[in-house]
Amino acid sequence: MNKIIVPIDFSEYSDYALETASILAKRYGSELLVLHMLEIDKGRVTDSTNELNEKMVFFLKLAEKKFDEFLAKDYLEGVNITPIVKHFKVFSEVAEVAEEHDADLIVMGSHGSSGLSEIFVGSNTEKVVRHSELPVLVVKQKPTTLDFNTVAFASDFSLEMIEPYLKARQLFDNLKLIHVNVPGEGFRSSSEIDSTVANFLKTADGNLDKLNDVHYIADYSIEKGILNASNLLGADLIAVPTHGRKGLAHFFAGSVSEDVANHATIPVITFKIK
C-alpha cells in the first residue's frame, strides 16, 4: 500500500481518520496525501474587485494556516505527508485526486452510530464512496489497534462480487465470508447456497481452500445478518461491496444498507463493484 488519501475538515472525526491512516502508513511504509477542501464560492473567486480578492487571499491564508496546525500531531511523526488544498468543496474531487496520485486507499471519519443517518445517505462520506474506484475505509472513533485480525466480508456470492473479494484478499489474509439468508424472494436452500459458494470460490480462487471460512446466517434483513454475524465472529472490520454511483442502497440487488455502516461500531471498508 503505497499511498493513502485522507480528506479532512478539522473535526474530531477527521482526527480519527488521520490517526488511523498514520497507523496504516507506518505499518506499510505508505505516503499520506492529506486533502482539505476549502468552502469558497467560485463566483467570489472570479470576482475582479480588488477588495474582494484581498479578502479571499486573507481567508485562503488563514485556512491554509489552520490546515498546517491540524497536521502538527505527534502521531504523524515519521510519516511522509503530502498536504493538498483544493479551493472548492466538491467531493467527487477526492476520487479524482486519489486517481491522479495513484493512491491505494481512502480513509474517512464519520459520526458514530448515532449520527450516521446523514453520513451514508446523501452526505460527504457516501459522495466519496459513490465516486471512488478505490476502497474507502470509514472510521467512527479514535483508533486503539488496527490489527484487523478478523475481517468479515459480506457477499451474496454472485459473480460480480469476485473483484471486490479479490481486492479484499489482497489487503487482508484473514477474511471470513458471510452469507445472509433472508425470508422471502431472496431465500435459498442450503444446497443452493453450497453450490453458489463453491462456484464462486472455484471461479475466484481456483480452489475451495476458503470453504471453511464461509459462514451462513439466517436473519430478517441482510444488514442485521451482517452485523450479527460480524459480532459472532468477533470481527474488527466489516468489508462491504458497493455499486458506487448507484449508491449503497443498491448493494445486494436491493438493499444494504446504509444500516451496516450506520450501526456498525467497528470500521467499515467499501469495495467498488464493477
Q: Are 158 and 37 in contact, with CB atoms under 8 Å apart? A: no
Same structural domain, 118 and 191: no
Find the CATH number of the domain harbouring 52: 3.40.50.620
Same domain membership, residue 30 and residue 119: yes
* Domain count along the chain: 2
145 part of a folded domain: no
Average pLDDT over residues 123-152: 83
Range scoring the smallest mean pLDDT among 40-44, 76-80, 131-135: 40-44
What's residue 194's pLDDT?
Answer: 94
Residue at 80 is within a domain: yes
Same domain, 30 and 129: yes
Encode burial over 4-21: b for 16+ CB neighbours within 10 A, e otherwise. Answer: bbbbbeeeebbbbbbbbb
SS3 of the chain: CCEEEEEECCCHHHHHHHHHHHHHHHHHCCEEEEEEECCCCHHHHHCCCHHHHHHHHHHHHHHHHHHHHHCCCHHHCCCEEEEEEECCCCCHHHHHHHHHCCCCEEEEECCHHHHHHHCCCCCHHHHHHHHCCCCEEEECCCCCCCCCCCEEEECCCCHHHHHHHHHHHHHCCCEEEEEEECCCCCCCCHHHHHHHHHHHHHHHHCCCCCHHHEEEEECCCHHHHHHHHHHHHCCCEEEEEECHHHCHHHCCCCCCHHHHHHHCCCCEEEEECC
Domain that holds residue 200: 151-272
Question: 169-195, pLDDT tens digit by residue?
Answer: 998 989 999 999 989 867 889 999 999
20, 8 Cβ separation under 8 angstroms: no
CA distances from 41 to 34, 38, 97, 126 (A): 22, 9, 20, 23
Mark which of 82, 113, 139 sits at the end of a domain: 139
Structural domain contains residue 146: no
4-13, 76-85, 123-132, 223-232: which range is least confident on average? 123-132
In degrees, rounded to 5, the angle at the alpha carbon of residue 8 between the alpha carbons of residues 237 and 40 is: 145
Contact 101, 134 (CB under 8 A): no
Q: In terms of domains, do 133 and 79 share one?
A: yes
Q: Report d(CA 36, CA 86) in Å as an integer.
A: 6
Residues 10 and 92 reside in one and the same domain = yes
- As a whole number, the mean pLDDT across the chain is 82
49, pLDDT greater than 70:
no
Whether residue 206 sits in one domain with residue 114: no
How many Å apart are CA 241 and CA 156, to the nearest integer? Answer: 10
Quick one: 156 and 92 in the same domain? no
Residues 182 and 112 in one domain: no
Same domain for 185 and 239, yes or no, is yes
Q: Could you tell me the pTM of the whole model?
A: 0.84
Residue type, 191: S
Q: What angle do CA 202, 203, 204 make, to 5 degrees?
A: 95
One domain for residues 94 and 215? no
pLDDT value at position 88?
Answer: 63
Q: Is residue 57 part of a domain?
A: yes
- Residue 200 forms part of a structural domain: yes
* Residue 126 and residue 13 share a domain: yes
Rounded average pLDDT over 7-35: 92
Among candidate residues 116, 139, 162, the one where a domain is terminated: 139
The verdict on 223 and 257 lying in the same domain is yes
pLDDT at 9: 84
Q: Which of 109, 139, 169 is the last residue of a domain?
A: 139
Q: Is the dihedral of CA 256, 259, 261, 265 positive or negative?
A: negative
pLDDT at 44 over 60: no
Distance (Å, rounded) from C-alpha 238 to C-alpha 180? 14
Q: Please report the pLDDT score of residue 110 as a whole number.
A: 80
Only one residue has cell 463566483, namely 43
pLDDT exceeds 50 at position 139: yes
The answer to whether the beta carbons of residues 106 and 84 sit under 8 Å apart is: no
The whole-number average pLDDT for the span 232-250 is 76
CB 33 within 8 A of CB 5: yes
Evaluate if residue 1 carries a pLDDT over 70: yes
User: How far from the centroid of its chain's Cα atoms is residue 134's Cα?
Assistant: 9
Q: What is the pLDDT of residue 233?
A: 96
pLDDT tens digit string along 108-135? 888 754 444 443 333 677 677 777 888 9
Residue 97 lies in a domain: yes
